Chains A and B, each alone.
Chain A
Amino acid sequence: MADREQKGAGWERFEALYRSSRDDLYAYVLTLLRDRSAAEDVTALAFERAYARQRSFDRRRGEERAWLFGIARNAALDELRRRRRSASLVAEPQELEGDTLAQPGSDDEELAQRREAVREALGALSPRERELIALKFHAGLTNAELANVLGVSESNAGTLVHRAVQKLRRAVNAPV
């Protein structure tokens, strides 16, 4: 009986985590993989793994959200490795086209140009910098959680994020 209640509470917690993280996780994975189809697969896989490993979660080592993004990161990096191994069988990662993206709200020409500039600036960043930006702004992780996911110290994580942000700012504001 108590076991069933515990399982029920665990499921509710996982469902809440899923609801609050689904879109953010997808955005983060897509930033890493730059391939919608692969990002969907890896997002689903990350949630499935998280569900299977619920019991291995230790709150003392960080928040559930950071734990989930850690799982997603490993899954995404494994996907990158797999893609590298079968490079000849898989097409080059598709660049995300602004026209095909689902964007909320209306858009005018200036805004479109601005978005394009941001996308180009993001594209100019290294994969690690893009990952930092995604973890910070899409996942909304604190520096401590970010450090936990990346396996670096908290201060180092903060420094890395700051540098990436500065680089992004410069790239966005750079004259075309």
Chain B
Amino acid sequence: MRPSDEIPFEQGDYSDVALMLASVREWPAEEFARELDARVQRRFGRQGGAAGGAAGRRPRRPGRMLRWVLGPASAAVAAGVAAVIVLSAQGPASPSRNGALTGHGSSQPSQLVLHAHANRAPAGSKPRFQGLGAPVVTPAVHAPSKSAGASLSSNSGASSLGASGTSSFNTAGVNATSAAPVIPGAKQIQSAQISLATPNQHVDQVALEVIGVVSLEHGTVQSSQITSGTSSSGGGYASFLLSFPTTNLQDALNRLSRLQFAALSSRTDGSQNVSGAYNADERQLTNAKDLRLALLKQLAAATTQQQIDSIDAQLKLATAQIAHWQAVLAALQHRISYSNVSVQINAGGLPILPVVHNSSFFTLGRASHDALRVLVVSAGVALIALAVALPVALLVALLMWLWVWRRQRRREHALDSAA
């Protein structure tokens, strides 16, 4: 007989079996039935309700399992929201640290990362574009200060930087006067990286502004690449590798950070202390010169042709060494005297126009700007919270499914092994 032939009728076909089983059917004892009736009438009240054994266990409240499932997920969401709030709260606190980038160098001079927001209201109220990463534009007018670098250097602790120590300052959206620490008297190679953001249609103008700064600060363009985007959504890109006299570096960086059509996304100032290498090269050069001088004296005192030839050969070697070390020193000095600056201009993203607050009164523009900021931050918080909560919720759901599946499997196994 095939399995398909075995499909029975619902009723009627089993009447003989039903009669047979009715004769051996078990009935509950009267005492138990009475007790259970009483418990049901009491609606399973706690008093005297526990019949012992399995029935004596406390029943689960409805929704308890649901809370157990949703508990970790909601905790994860709360943790994500809290993390985002903490991260976002760190941002607005930073503008008050305008120009206060001191006191950190002695603790961790080699890798100091400061997060601050742009605090650069345009002096001439020119239209400026504020990147999404720099949320606050304060009304304070900040004048470029050349002394900022000096104040940093005095606090950063020269002794903590080794002979070949390097330091890097990443100042995303920071005011333009921040710089890597300069150690007085030390030979340092300085460099900087600047990332600018601008609307797609202004990439060329920003590139022209960069060239203008190079001309103004007596720098040179070592390499450049400009890609114009065709769509309004982005695609434009430009990169420059510039070289400035180190004495003009801070002014150049300040100018590059304050371009008319671009907003500063990030700025990294780096410095490398090469005093040790410079001094060593100088010693080598001095030694070579001393050797040459000594050889010249020996040559003057030489009497035989053989001595003259030998000293002459050594002189040639010493002269070559002097030339070598002079070239090395000159190259190093050039790297010290001229600093490389890498500039990247990225287009894309809808810039948020800053509102210059000329007064503390309520204005429609100010309110709409604040509302837009709130919306952007809220959307960011929601997105990050979702990114945290979704995998956690999926994981919890998977674990729950596994737990239920495993429990059911154990139950079925218990039935199978009951034989």
Contact = CB atoms under 8 A, between A and B. Distances in A.
A138 B60 CA distance: 28
B108 to A, nearest CB: 57
B39 A44 contact: yes
A29 B419 CA distance: 15
Nearest to B412: A77
A137 B21 contact: yes
Contacts of B7: 155, 158-159, 162
B141 interface: no
A-B pairs, 8 with minimum CB distance: A77-B411, A44-B55, A41-B55, A162-B8, A41-B53, A80-B414, A45-B55, A81-B414
B28 interface: yes
B33 to A, nearest CB: 7
Interface of A: 11, 15, 18, 22-23, 26-27, 30-32, 36-38, 40-45, 47-49, 51-56, 74-75, 77-82, 84, 93, 96, 98, 101-104, 111, 114-115, 118-119, 122, 126-128, 131, 133, 136-138, 142-143, 151, 155, 158-159, 161-163, 165, 168-169, 172
Given A41-B53, A159-B7, A165-B17, A11 B26 contact: no
B28 A162 contact: no
Nearest to A144: B10
A175 B347 CA distance: 93
B56 interface: yes
B26 A18 contact: no
A115 B60 contact: no
Nearest to B418: A127
Contact of B6 (A42, A119, A143, A162): A162
Contacts of A137: 14, 17-18, 21-22
- Between B7, B23, B44, B57, the greatest number of chain A beta carbons within 10 A of the residue's beta carbon is seen for B23
22 contacts: A22-B28, A22-B33, A23-B28, A31-B26, A37-B53, A38-B53, A44-B36, A48-B55, A78-B54, A98-B24, A101-B26, A101-B27, A102-B30, A103-B27, A115-B23, A119-B24, A128-B416, A137-B21, A142-B10, A159-B3, A165-B8, A165-B14
- Between A26, A51, A122, A142, the greatest number of chain B beta carbons within 10 A of the residue's beta carbon is seen for A26
Interface residues of B, number: 49
A27 to B, nearest CB: 5
B46 to A, nearest CB: 11
B52 A27 contact: no
A117 to B, nearest CB: 9
B99 to A, nearest CB: 64
A72 to B, nearest CB: 11
Contacts of B57: 45
Interface in B32-82: 32-33, 36, 39-40, 43-44, 49, 51-57, 59-62
Given A32-B418, A48-B44, A138-B25, A53 B20 contact: no
A143 B14 CA distance: 13
A91 B22 CA distance: 29
B146 interface: no
B410 interface: yes
A11 B53 CA distance: 26
